[in-house]
Amino acid sequence: MKKKVLLMGKSGSGKTSMRSIIFADYLARDTTRLSPTIDVEYSSVQFLGNLHLHLWDCGGQDDFYKNYLDNMRDHIFRSVELLVYVFDIEHFEAVDLKQFEAVAEALDQHSPDALVFVLLHKMDLVAEEERSLVFRERESLINECTRNLAVRVKCFPSSIWDETLYRAWSQIVYSLVPNTKLLEDNLNDFCKICGSDEVVLFESTTFLVIAHCEDGSKHSDVHRFEKISNIIKQFKLSCRKAQASFEGMVVQNSRFTAFFNLFTSNTCIMVIVSDTDIQPASIQLNIDAAKPHFESLIPQTQM
């Protein structure tokens, strides 16, 4: 299954940096050596086996946008499944909003069923106590300029320096995976069998969250999965640099035991257990026993 994904935004907004971190295993500090995108860069990313994301990273210079909208309109905006539009939070001018509006109108004309994710990027440059207010103000302006269009817009704050980038892209990719409810229903059954508190399924290359379930208890940190994605991916990259293979890990303290394992051929699983009567060996046996079932199940999400 092929999905066309547009990545757009003004030059210097951070589009290529985030793409490189999520899909090409760059560290945030390594993105400073990336060059500006010229015209359109095409790449194909295999995700969950049979799902192919065709990423069109569109250069953000004004001349390129004029060409996209005037001369390449049908070619760029036809058959789009999803648009990721990136704003630099420090350079959010009326002209930038007008350009986004023109892009949204072109998408509405050629791919009215497309999803639109807007990332208000480089939020780390905004004082922490002001971030929520600044984000809400910008989100309101974005929603106002698209309110008469068919396309649906969802906004996220993001930064390459923290877990917000993984939160945004997990939601983006989640929207592209069909039948995620099938995965979550089976994860929920697995969670009950194990007697675990939470089970999370990650895509094994990007470490983006694709499904999760919990036992109903409220957790204080709603961004915990994205933080874990970030930490585990950095650890995996460190293993690679040390020429060691990453197979999984177990973290245990007085309150819980966390298992993180390679699971199917294209996923990893995390199982959190707080019940001290449940032996770690039994959780590991359940994980191993569940692998064939989920291996056969995941291809069904591509249908």
pLDDT 10s digits, 242-298: 777 777 888 888 888 999 988 998 899 999 999 988 988 999 999 999 999 998 887
pLDDT at 158 over 90: yes
What digits encode the pLDDT tens for the residues 84-132? 999 999 889 899 999 999 999 999 999 999 999 999 999 999 999 999 9
Furthest C-alpha separation in the chain? 66
pLDDT at 20 over 50: yes
50 pLDDT above the threshold of 80: no
| Residues belonging to the chain | 303
Question: Residue 63 and residue 102: Cα distance in Å, rounded?
Answer: 14
d(C-alpha 218, C-alpha 200), whole Å: 15
Q: What is the pLDDT of residue 183?
A: 87
Confidence class for position 303, pLDDT limits 50, 70, 90? very low
- Tokens linked to 289: 């026993």
CA distance 248 to 268: 9
pTM: 0.84
Q: What backbone torsions phi and psi does residue 6 show, to the nearest 5 degrees?
A: -90, 135
Distance CA 108, CA 150 (A): 6
Quote the CA–CA distance of 61 and 39 in Å, as a whole number.
Answer: 8
Contact 4, 56 (CB under 8 A): yes
- DSSP track, 132-165: HHHHHHHHHHHHHHTTTSSSEEEEEE--TTSTHH
Going by pLDDT thresholds of 50, 70 and 90, the confidence category of residue 211 is: confident
Name the helix (H) or strand (E) containing 199: strand 198-203
Contacts of 202-205 spanning 24+ positions with Cβ under 8 A: 202/229, 202/232, 202/267, 202/268, 202/269, 202/270, 203/47, 203/48, 203/173, 203/266, 203/267, 203/268, 204/262, 204/263, 204/266, 204/267, 204/268, 205/23, 205/47, 205/266
Q: What does the pLDDT read at residue 33?
A: 76
- State the average pLDDT for the chain: 87
Judge whether 116 and 83 are in contact, CB under 8 Å. Answer: yes
